Amino acid sequence: MSVFKRNGLFVSKFQLHGRQHWTPGGPWPGTRDGKRHAHEAERRYRDRLNARTTNESCASFVARWLAEWPRPAASTRALYAQAAGRFSEHFGPTPLGEVERLSARSWALGVPRNLSKVVSTMYEDARNIGLVETNPFSNLRLPNTQKTEEVHPPTLDEYRTLLRSCVLLGGYAPEFRALIQFAAWTGLRVSEVQGLQWQDIDGDLLHVRRALKDDGSYGKPKNGLQRTVAFLEPARVLDQVPRREGSPFVFHVMKGAPLNQANLYYHWNKVRAPLALERQEAGLPGVRFHDLRHFCATQLLELGLSHFDVSVQLGHEDGGALVMSRYGHPSKDAARERLLTVFTGSSASIGSAAGSTGVAIPPKSRQ
């Protein structure tokens, strides 16, 4: 036991298995009872440390965790294996309980956020069974991977350029042009477009029931919820998309295989190339296919739809909060134009309504 006084209070520090440990819970009052409590706390803490698996390394726990805490979905298991593998490559022989927060944060800054989140989950499992005291990957306050102001969806002119650039694809141009237009005016995620089947099209509605996962399988959409969205008029271009015999999916590559990440971006990179130099000179990044989702949100807001309306189309369950903070990039010029024209055609009724009170009554909202 090594209980001693510091600044008039009792603290406890001891050596165990070659390592120095401070007993948690202190300091204790500088009285006889305080000293006794410090000794008891140290004894309990020693017992806890001795009861642990002292030789568990990061690499050994990764193997154990993947085997003993398997996730039900194949795509989730693949993601967890990828994250745990990256963690093991870096921290392998390090004892699991000796990964410090500074080291954890440095590693997390160099990998995709979804991987560091998985490792944080792994540490929570280790903490719950008593292998570690704390989770060094919790509350790291990592910077956002992409701030709202860094998102630059295509403008209407750039969207039209993308459609015209499809001519570069030859005979596949009409189908790929329809794909771009469909994605730009439905707001579906890339994986949801890839998972869309003909049976999901229901008159004025689209049923978003599945999405293509990283491992090539099809599962539920990103948030795990199926949804129904409006099949907006500008998106109704599927007469340009031929049906492939024996395939239930709507979109394919020219040779008939269902759309996936590799074959989608093979063609997308050709179509967006004419915009690359122009955007580079403007200091903007290239257009991603995902930016068509931002384009959809922006255009719907420009048309006067509410943030809640747009959130329903995008499949958010937050009442429009994320659309307000991230997905809407409306033009200030367009907003001023709407403000200047909001009373157009209503002058007479407004004047009449204001006759007795002197207060103009705005026209009833069209939403």
Per-residue pLDDT of the chain (367 residues; tens, 9 = 90+): 588 888 889 888 888 766 777 888 888 898 988 888 888 888 888 877 665 545 789 999 999 999 999 888 777 888 899 899 999 999 999 988 889 888 899 898 888 888 898 999 999 998 888 788 789 998 888 876 545 456 788 999 999 999 999 999 999 999 999 999 999 999 999 999 999 999 999 999 999 999 998 778 898 887 778 999 999 999 999 999 999 999 999 999 888 889 888 889 899 999 999 998 888 888 888 899 999 999 999 998 888 888 888 888 998 877 777 777 666 566 666 667 766 676 665 444 433 333 433 333 334 434 3
- Is 298 inside any structural domain? no
Same structural domain for residues 212 and 289? Answer: yes
Q: Give the domain range for residue 46.
A: 3-51
Last residue of a domain, one of 51, 70, 87: 51
pLDDT of residue 30: 87
Task: State how many domains the chain has.
Answer: 3
Same structural domain for residues 71 and 23? Answer: no
Is the overall model pTM greater than 0.85, yes or no? no
Q: Which among 264, 72, 249 is positioned nearest to 172, based on CA atoms?
A: 264
Structure token digits, residue 260:
């996936």
CB 328 within 8 A of CB 307: yes
Same structural domain for residues 229 and 246? Answer: yes
CB 175 within 8 A of CB 242: yes
pLDDT of residue 325: 66
Helix (H, G, I), strand (E, B) or coil at 306: coil
> Angle of helix 101-109 relative to helix 74-91, nearest 10 degrees?
120
- Strand ranges inside 146-221, DSSP E: 201-202, 205-208, 211-212, 218-219
Same structural domain for residues 40 and 8? Answer: yes
Q: What is d(CA 287, CA 284) in angstroms, rounded to the nearest whole number?
A: 9
- Is 311 inside any structural domain? no
pLDDT of residue 307: 85
Same structural domain for residues 155 and 288? Answer: yes
- Is 288 inside any structural domain? yes
Same structural domain for residues 80 and 45? Answer: no
pLDDT of residue 353: 36
Structure token digits, residue 185:
């005016």
pLDDT of residue 271: 95
- Is 364 inside any structural domain? no
Same structural domain for residues 40 and 154? Answer: no
Last residue of a domain, one of 293, 328, 361: 293
- Is 27 inside any structural domain? yes
pLDDT of residue 345: 55
- Is 306 inside any structural domain? no
Structure token digits, residue 258:
């269902």
Same structural domain for residues 82 and 170? Answer: no
- Is 227 inside any structural domain? yes
Same structural domain for residues 90 and 215? Answer: no
> Angle of helix 74-91 relative to helix 58-68, nearest 10 degrees?
170
CA 322 to chain centroid:
11
- Is 343 inside any structural domain? no
Last residue of a domain, one of 293, 326, 343: 293
Same structural domain for residues 47 and 155? Answer: no
Same structural domain for residues 90 and 158? Answer: no
Residue 190: give its domain's CATH number.
1.10.443.10
Same structural domain for residues 172 and 260? Answer: yes
